[in-house]
Amino acid sequence: MNKENLEFILEKAVERAIPNKDGMVADYIPELGTVKPDLLAASVMLADGTLVACGPNKDFRFTLQSVSKLVLLIGLMEEFGSEHVFSWINAEPSGLPFAAIGDLDRYGPVPSNPLINAGAICLSGRIPGDTERQLRWVKKWVDTLFGADLEFSDAVYNSEFGSADRNRSLAYLMKSTGVLQGDVEEILKPYFSLCSYTADISQAVYLPTLLAKGGVAPNGKRIISEETSNQVIAIMATCGLYNESGMHLVKVGIPAKSGISGLIVGVGIGSGGIAAFSPRVNRKGTSVRGHMIISDIAQQLHWHFASPHKIS
């Protein structure tokens, strides 16, 4: 597909999403509550590196939030291997909201998967070294997996840290059962730092494109192993949108990961990546207009994982 056709498809998808006013900004994190709700941007990158971005706010920088859980999972899998990582965490769909406590207490002590809050906090406790070294580890893997020197938002980090009672509850529950070792407040620092890195829409699409190519960057350089890429894509497919992952995979057919900032990324396996940003999220933490856009693009490009007619 040439760039002009891809631009046309993306622009039309954005136009169709603009009128939708459903959802609300995630104001339970005070700093996110200050973001204008009608911001909108989207991008597509094909496996060969062809990039298109559009929308009225394509230069706006937003925080990664839970999309960054992919960074934590990938980095640990690359450094320790999947066998070690999945001795620390399960890989089963929870069927519950991203910050649910009940299933951890009832079915734990190990969290269901690495893409819910409890799972990412659990893995945060496995980052090697003291807090300073852990924060450097986070920065290294963020920049590696997004192919850029991403900026950090101190304002969002401080806001997250000051409004994290539920995440602290998850952490202390895991500490009480021995899943977490060490000081909870220190373990939460790299977790919240991951959430607080910022990207524009052209930078955000790099990671899903990397996964779409089995861990190979558009320039042909291998960044992560194919094994890691394949397993992370599988977990995105079953767990990436929490308790709406199943219906998303049925209808849209591309593994995806959402974040409460309004970012959502999707992987067109073998074809490319999609990123969309709009701060109005539904009750399950997914950008309403962002999801509309990736659904539209996946349909137009036949990127459903089961489609025999994929366009790349």
**pLDDT given for residue 311 in this prediction:** 62
The full set of domain ranges for the chain reads: 3-63+200-300, 66-198
Q: Spell out the CATH class of 3-63+200-300.
A: alpha beta
Q: What mean pLDDT is reported for the chain?
A: 94
**Torsion-angle region of 140 (φ positive above 0: left; ψ -120 to 50: alpha; else: beta):** alpha
Residue entry with tokens 């969309």 = 276
Longest Cα pair distance anywhere in the chain, in angstroms? 56
What beta strand segments (E) does 79-165 contain?
Answer: 151-152
- What pLDDT was estimated at residue 47? 93
pLDDT at residue 308, rounded to an integer: 80
User: In this predicted structure, what is the pLDDT of residue 102?
Assistant: 67
pLDDT confidence of residue 312: 59
Give alpha helix (H) positions in 92-205. Answer: 102-107, 117-124, 131-146, 154-162, 165-176, 184-195, 201-204
Q: Which residues of the chain have pLDDT under 70?
A: 97, 99, 102, 107, 310-312
Q: Are 275 and 13 in contact (CB under 8 A)?
A: no
- The third-level CATH classification (topology) of the domain covering 66-198 is Beta-lactamase (3.40.710)
Question: What's the confidence (pLDDT) of residue 303?
Answer: 95
Q: Which long-range contacts (CB under 8 A, 24 or more apart) does 249-255 make?
A: 249/305, 251/295, 252/294, 252/295, 252/298, 252/299, 252/304, 253/298, 253/303, 253/304, 253/305, 253/306, 253/307, 254/294, 254/298, 254/303, 254/304, 254/305, 255/211, 255/305
pLDDT value at residue 172: 92
Determine the pLDDT at residue 310.
Answer: 62
